[in-house]
A and B are shown apart, each in its own frame.
Chain A
Amino acid sequence: DGGITQSPKYLFRKEGQNVTLSCEQNLNHDAMYWYRQDPGQGLRLIYYSQIVNDFQKGDIAEGYSVSREKKESFPLTVTSAQKNPTAFYLCASSMDGNDYSGNTIYFGEGSWLTVV
């Protein structure tokens, strides 16, 4: 089945620890995104990538890092510099990162990160 796969579904981080969330898509989409969702709030953009080996900061990039070495993969690392990382993280993709017609963004099932 085509889609966006995020893993793990639940992740616990200790203070001072870096953790990495995986995102894989088999839709052959060029663009990929990471959003953060806090309870009762809308989604906020962390990072996005329009093409392999290129990515840009979103609205809340501080304390996060990404890589885009392969078209189908866009992992997100939550570093120890992110002071309030407990949230629901959503990976997404769209066909073309530059298509002006308003390309639809599709989402994965999300990963819950909790600081313990």
Chain B
Amino acid sequence: EDQVTQSPEALRLQEGESSSLNCSYTVSGLRGLFWYRQDPGKGPEFLFTLYSAGEEKEKERLKATLTKKESFLHITAPKPEDSATYLCAVQAGNNAGNMLTFGGGTRLMVKP
């Protein structure tokens, strides 16, 4: 059974204080690992897809990396507007479709 675990559950940062969010996974043949941002009461917004170990992707203050067992979302010099819940999800190779298995999310709060 595919499993995704995110840590920490919640993270408080001061503005400008860089940190990383972790996503550990076990999956039968990873097809893709996805990061989403979710604001309260809204649907998840797509950020990145990573396909193979060693791959990295960047977008503004965010950088996602992937190993064979985990992914990190690095946040450099965060701003209050980066406050949100960040969701990690995997697509497995044995799926008949593109369904995602999600972790529980990390709630990030950035104080000015």
Contacts and interface: CB of A to CB of B under 8 A. Distances in A.
Contacts of B43: 4, 6, 90, 92, 107-110
Given A41-B104, A102-B49, A110 B99 contact: no
Interface string B1-32: 00010000000000000000000000000011
B100 interface: yes
A58 B49 contact: no
Contacts of B97: 31, 48, 50, 56, 97-98
Contacts of A112: 41
A23 B7 CA distance: 32
A104 interface: yes
A58 B99 contact: yes
B103 to A, nearest CB: 6
A58 B99 CA distance: 9
Interface residues of B, number: 26
Nearest to A44: B102
Contacts of A109: 42-43
Interface of B: 4, 31-32, 34, 36, 41-46, 49, 51, 87, 89, 91, 93, 96-100, 102-105
Given A98-B98, A105-B34, 19 more contacts: A33-B99, A42-B102, A42-B103, A43-B87, A43-B89, A43-B100, A43-B102, A48-B99, A50-B97, A56-B97, A97-B98, A98-B97, A102-B49, A102-B51, A105-B98, A107-B43, A107-B45, A109-B43, A110-B43
15 contacts: A4-B43, A6-B43, A42-B105, A43-B44, A43-B87, A43-B89, A45-B99, A50-B97, A94-B98, A96-B98, A99-B98, A104-B49, A107-B36, A107-B43, A107-B46
